[in-house]
Amino acid sequence: MSNSTKLATPMKVITGKDTRWSYANVWEAKSINGGTPKFSVSLIIPKTDTVTVQKIKAAIQAAYEKGQAKLKGNGRTVPPLTAIKTPLRDGDTERPGDPAYADSYFVNANSRTVPGIVDADCNPILTRSEVYSGVYGRASINFYAFNSNGNKGIACGLNNLQKIRDSEPLIGKTRAQTDFTTDDNKDFLD
């Protein structure tokens, strides 16, 4: 199917190339608080990437409209979108002490199945050390309504990831390549 004949999926978004990955748990599913093990990543989107932000807002709206029966549940009415949990969050207000989230929005995406991970040329990445919290890349995500145990809202599913470029890790540790390509230890090597 060519690009021009693909069916548009209003709840699916491909983020921009300046999206930074944090809490990248993409190689092994992990359980949080005893829940179902999932693959997950926090996608940090610069506020200047207005195209991605608008796509996400439109996808959240589409998921809300499609999921109204689920959101209504046993109630008499569908709660307004402003009254339910949504995945697009403001890093400046929710993570004010974390410089990685400054001037950015973020979305936490997860999946029960392993995401496909490719490089900038769409070649599969199989080496775990190539993908870490701090890299920049694009993400294929989808939005859907949920109604579980009294919690109602829109969630973000993780489909696939494309690494675009390296950056400093977000774990407070530098990369070996960075440490050993500087002149700081020149006297030691002479």
pLDDT digits (tens, 9 = 90+) for 99-140: 999 999 999 999 999 999 999 999 999 999 999 999 999 999
- DSSP H helices in the chain: 50-66, 68-72, 91-94, 176-179, 186-189
Instruction: Estimate the share of the chain in helix, then strand, then coil, as percent rounded to the nearest 5.
Output: 25, 35, 40
Mean pLDDT, the chain, rounded, equals: 90
Q: Look at residue 2 in the predicted model and tell me its pLDDT.
A: 46
Rg (CA), the chain: 19
Structural domain boundaries of the chain?
Answer: 9-182
Structure tokens belonging to residue 163: 């690494």
Q: How far apart are CA 17 and CA 46, in angstroms?
A: 10
Q: Look at residue 26 in the predicted model and tell me its pLDDT.
A: 96
pLDDT digits (tens, 9 = 90+) for 23-58: 999 999 999 888 899 999 999 999 999 999 999 999
pTM: 0.85
CATH architecture of the domain formed by 9-182 = Beta Barrel (2.40)
Structure tokens belonging to residue 16: 């921009």
